[in-house]
Amino acid sequence: MIKKITIVGIGLMGGSLAMQCRSKGIAAHIIGVDENPEHASDALSMHLVDEVLPLDDAIATSDVIVLTVPMNALVGLLPSVLDKVKQQVVLDMGSTKNILAKSVDAHANRGRFVATHPMWGTEYSGPRAAVEGAFENKAVILCDTEKTDADALDFVKDLYRKLNMHIIEMNAVDHDLHAAYVSHISHITSFALANTVLEKEREDKAIFEMASAGFESTVRLAKSNPDMWTPILMQNKDNVLDVLNEHISQLRKFKSCLEKENWDYLKELMLHANQIKRIIQ
Amino acid sequence: MIKKITIVGIGLMGGSLAMQCRSKGIAAHIIGVDENPEHASDALSMHLVDEVLPLDDAIATSDVIVLTVPMNALVGLLPSVLDKVKQQVVLDMGSTKNILAKSVDAHANRGRFVATHPMWGTEYSGPRAAVEGAFENKAVILCDTEKTDADALDFVKDLYRKLNMHIIEMNAVDHDLHAAYVSHISHITSFALANTVLEKEREDKAIFEMASAGFESTVRLAKSNPDMWTPILMQNKDNVLDVLNEHISQLRKFKSCLEKENWDYLKELMLHANQIKRIIQ
């Protein structure tokens, strides 16, 4: 069991991690660090954390420091945390990896850091969004593990195994490309779909009376927090642009079928899309 | 209680209706009609229906005939069913309404027909996709009700109230416009997103190892049946094209923000999309 774990940023990810550390007996003592006083107070009152400490005090007393702040804050925070660690393990849970990895490539304590991305989340944020049972049976990506000390890597693998996660290793460059396809583009399509329909709603308030479950499913990510998603898309700009261009060109194929009344090709496009059944059940 | 109900097309919708008619005691005897022998046999063995009859026999003996076949078949089927009814009530459950409504506008028995669209469905099809508890607490649209005999309208409203559905009345033209926004476009974006990612998978099999719940949510409609969706999009072509053009232009705003690194506007677009919270919980 981990003696003391520090979680920096007790929001959706950090709060859910704290909850699982508690319920699975992964850590004996959970320390929270959060710049937002309301989040810190909620984390204490919800008993997600045992105490809230200033960052430096928390680092000094902990075995492991988990960074779960938005990507823009993370890139500034990680080097300064590595400056202060000795034998502690540091990991992040951020959605992009390449810029973050580069920021500490030459750091003397690089070996203490493990770059991770648990493929779990919801469209909500803050400690009150924390979910019991989060992470369970999901994948977690560990990046550039050859740059990590063996003991730190083992420590983090053990942590994720206790969360019942499936560990995948890949380099940061591949990670960011794949994340653009299986996560970031989904958020952009949802945001854009919400704006498409909200635009129409300006002239026609009745439109949402008939919103279906299918609509809810495709648009729910549009509720996601822009403070979290702006830096993710910034840091993965090139990959996201490539996928977005491909997606727009796929949509144009549907548009062209409708315009030309090419119903055979329309059906063919949908039959091809059905192959996604191989991937998601 | 309805003495005898006929359901033509015992698939996802028809099968789910049969299930609810049974469990809620809505009908004493359920007759199935299906051109697909496998579906007819499944419907019998699953006890969704009490018997399977040829269409004409079923019409002659029933109080109400519910048409739940794909939209292309429906437009041919409805007038021929109306030819054969006397005092029976006929309703459909199709996803588009304008072309269908026009096809029977001048029919002598138009008054016996109620055009309906329950806003419930899944991405699966066939009788084995039938769901206990389907329709519950969802909306159902009744179109052009002024063209329906008062007793037929009351009959259908009573049926949907027993299914615990929320009844909304609107004309067929408005229905098709709204359906394009809150249902049909969601299917196109899902199909196109699936094709976007499947395209990438051709060169990189590993990409799906990290598919997240967010991805699954936005892409699940891509599993929908092309035989059902081709005629829906055909019959609602103009509305769907309008919404698709608007959606592509919304996506281009995201693209432009990324290209120009206009992070303030990107965040603004996402904040605007967050307003969808007013609509879906």
Q: Cβ distance B194 to B217 under 8 Å? A: no
Partner-chain contact B220 A224, CB within 8 Å: no
**Taking Cα atoms as reference points, which of B275, B223, B105, B263 lies closest to residue B173?**
B105
Residue A159 and residue A21 share a domain? yes
Chain B environment of A267 (Cβ under 8 Å) = 226-227, 230
Among candidate residues A151, A171, A191, the one where a domain is terminated: A171
Three-class secondary structure assignment of B37-56 = HHHHHHHHHCCCCCEECCHH
Residue B250 and residue B234 share a domain? yes
Residue A194 and residue A149 share a domain? no
Q: Cβ distance B134 to B120 under 8 Å? A: yes
State how many domains chain B has: 2
Residue A118 and residue A104 share a domain? yes
**Hey, of B182, B241, B262, which one would you mutate to test binding to chain A, going by the most A CBs within 10 A of its CB?**
B182
Lookup: tokens for A88 = 């502690």
Q: Phi and psi of A176, rounded to 5°?
A: -65, -35
Partner-chain contact B191 A234, CB within 8 Å: no
What's the confidence (pLDDT) of residue B160? 98
Residue A84: pLDDT band (50, 70, 90) is very high
Residue B92 and residue B14 share a domain? yes
Q: Which of B220, B243, B270 sits opposite A230 (nearest CB)?
A: B270
Residue A229 and residue A195 share a domain? yes
Residue A56 and residue A118 share a domain? yes
Chain B environment of A190 (Cβ under 8 Å) = 218, 273
- This complex has an ipTM of 0.92
Helix (H, G, I), strand (E, B) or coil at B280: coil
Partner-chain contact A195 B273, CB within 8 Å: yes
Partner-chain contact B139 A209, CB within 8 Å: yes
Residue A85 and residue A36 share a domain? yes
Higher model confidence: residue B209 or residue A26? A26
> For the whole model, what pTM was predicted?
0.92
Among candidate residues A156, A171, A186, the one where a domain is terminated: A171
Among candidate residues A143, A171, A199, the one where a domain is terminated: A171
Residue A165 and residue A102 share a domain? yes
Closest-approach residue (CA) in chain A for B258: A237
Chain A environment of B274 (Cβ under 8 Å) = 194, 222-224, 226
Partner-chain contact B182 A210, CB within 8 Å: yes
Q: What is the CATH number of the domain that holds B189?
A: 1.10.3660.10
Q: Cβ distance B143 to B117 under 8 Å? A: yes
Partner-chain contact B243 A200, CB within 8 Å: yes
Helices B263-273 & B237-260 angle (0-180, nearest 10): 140
Chain A environment of B215 (Cβ under 8 Å) = 182-183, 186, 280
Distance CA B22, CA B18 (A): 6
What is the extent of the structural domain holding A196? 175-278
User: What's A25's DSSP letter?
Assistant: T
Residue B69 and residue B33 share a domain? yes
Residue A107 and residue A228 share a domain? no
Residue A259 and residue A208 share a domain? yes
Instruction: Render each residue's pLDDT in chain B as its tens digit; 281 residues.
Output: 999 999 999 999 999 999 999 999 999 999 999 999 999 999 999 999 999 999 999 999 999 999 999 999 999 999 999 999 999 999 999 999 999 999 999 999 999 999 999 999 999 999 999 999 999 999 999 999 999 999 999 999 999 999 999 999 999 999 999 999 999 999 999 999 999 999 887 777 677 777 878 889 999 999 999 999 999 999 999 999 999 999 999 999 999 999 999 999 999 999 999 999 988 77
Q: What is the CATH number of the domain that holds A153?
A: 3.40.50.720
Chain segment A155-178, per-residue pLDDT in tens: 999 999 999 999 999 999 999 999
What's the confidence (pLDDT) of residue B187? 96
Enumerate the β-bridge partners of residue B140.
B118, B167
Lookup: tokens for A102 = 């580069």
Query: For A30-44, what is the mean pLDDT?
Result: 97
Q: Which of B188, B210, B243 sits opposite A141 (nearest CB)?
A: B210
